[in-house]
Structure 1
Amino acid sequence: MKKVFLAILFPLLANAQCNEESSKAFQDQLNKEYADEKESPLKKEDLQHFKGLDFYDINGDFCVEAKLKLTPNEKQFVMPTSGGRKPLYVKYGELHFELQGKRCKLNIYRNIELSKMEKYKNHLFLPFTDLTSGVESYGGGRYIDLETTDKDTMIIDFNQAYNPYCAYNEGYSCPIPPKENDLLVEVRAGVKKFHD
């Protein structure tokens, strides 16, 4: 019954930029996938009544340019999950930015197995929690998908933050955001918690 969580909204998010159009396209794509019985993580009873996910209003203040500090000598580690899976990740770098007037830092990761696949060789994983977690957004945190770059900056569009599949169905095994990726700000952007 336990399902593997490999939902990656890639390549739609890979080249995310700070504009309302890309965030709206993200929301439309996510709703389309969740309404599709073959792709949706929703339980059958929830899918029957699904009208769309609950998003915060798109807000350009939550799309930031972050300074990327690579961390090339990190060791692989097992990222804890909500189930029995033990996926290997490696810290790819640190993203330093300002949000809501506060200096913030998030670690960004690379999934070892995914990085061996041509389709996902440039994929990066940004899991995080914030002060909305467990209140307005899912308590287990949210994710953003990014892509490697040769620049020393990276765009983080929190309007494209999405819930792990575990937010909708406990049958999935999802990575738990590391404690160091807990932001002490309210990220009122992206997907809100699921109301079934």
Structure 2
Amino acid sequence: MRLCIAVLVLGMFVSCGQEKKYHDVKDQVKLAVTSDKIADILKFQEELNAEFKDPETSPLADRFRINFESLDFFEPDTSYVVQAEFIRTPEALPFAMPTTTDRESTEVVYGIAKFTLNGKEHELEIYQSPELIKQAEYEDYLFLPFTDKTNGEETYGGGRYLDLTIPKGNKIILNFNKAYNPYCAYNKKFSCPIVPKVNNLDTEIKVGVKAFEH
């Protein structure tokens, strides 16, 4: 995954290049067809590190980016690549999702993912931005923020995000190995959507990106 994270800053799109919101998902879609799940996860890590090293795309302040080598990742674990039941919610109305600043992010609950993980049943809301889908490259983009029991210890206290695309049927793959931190975990100048309480997972998600240590 190239992870061109584009979190909104002070009401404006900040991105690796032009207008992006959370991520550029195009490369992630390409990776989804890879038969080797581990290779897919390692590719995600490699491309995320490349983005963080690049001064044009990195959220890191220069003093941290200059000597940056790699983010801290959990070991890949394919048991955290889960197939979830996907229930669309076409009657949902737009709402204002709070962020880490005074700005609000307008989102719609596009659907609900139901799945089993670590021996428990879980549900997560999956969101779509009415503004972002006006851009052709994001017309199928979905956003999944979540919290879990590792937050504040092994992972960023504010939770992590997943980028998804609209599935054709009633199933959706959630690869938690691709869980990443919002940009505000690295730099306070960014404004990041706050994970809704309904998306708290009552389990540990020990894959994906760990907390950033300065």
Q: TM-score, normalised on structure 2?
A: 0.88
Map Cα deviations across residues 34-82 of structure 1 (whole Å, 9 max, x no partner).
0000100001111122111000000011110000011100010011100
In structure 2, distance between residues paired with 1:10 and 1:71: 22
Q: Deviations over 1:119-155 (max 9, x none)?
A: 1000000000000011100001100000001211000
TM-score (norm 1): 0.96
8 Å CA contact retained: 1:71, 1:91: yes
In structure 2, distance between residues paired with 1:44 and 1:94: 39
More divergent stretch after superposition (131-140 vs 79-88): 79-88
**Match for 1:34 among 41, 46, 52?**
52
Q: Which residue of 1 aligns with 2:67?
A: 49
Query: Deviation at 1:21?
Result: 1.3
Q: How does 1:117-132 map to 2 (within 5 A)?
A: 117-132=135-150
Aligned to 1:8: 23
Where does residue 178 of structure 1 map in the other structure?
196
- Whole-Å separation in 1 of the counterparts to 2:151 and 2:27: 25
1:139 is matched by which residue type in structure 2?
Answer: G
Gaps of 5+ in 2: 1-8, 15-20
Counterpart residue identity of residue 163, structure 1: N
Query: CA RMSD of the aligned region, Å?
Result: 1.5
Q: Counterparts in 2 of 1:20-169, with a 5 A limit?
A: 20-169=38-187
How far apart are the structure 2 equivalents of 1:14 and 1:142? 19
Between the aligned residues of both structures, percent identity stands at 41
User: Contact 1:4 / 1:173 at 8 angstroms: preserved in 2?
Assistant: no
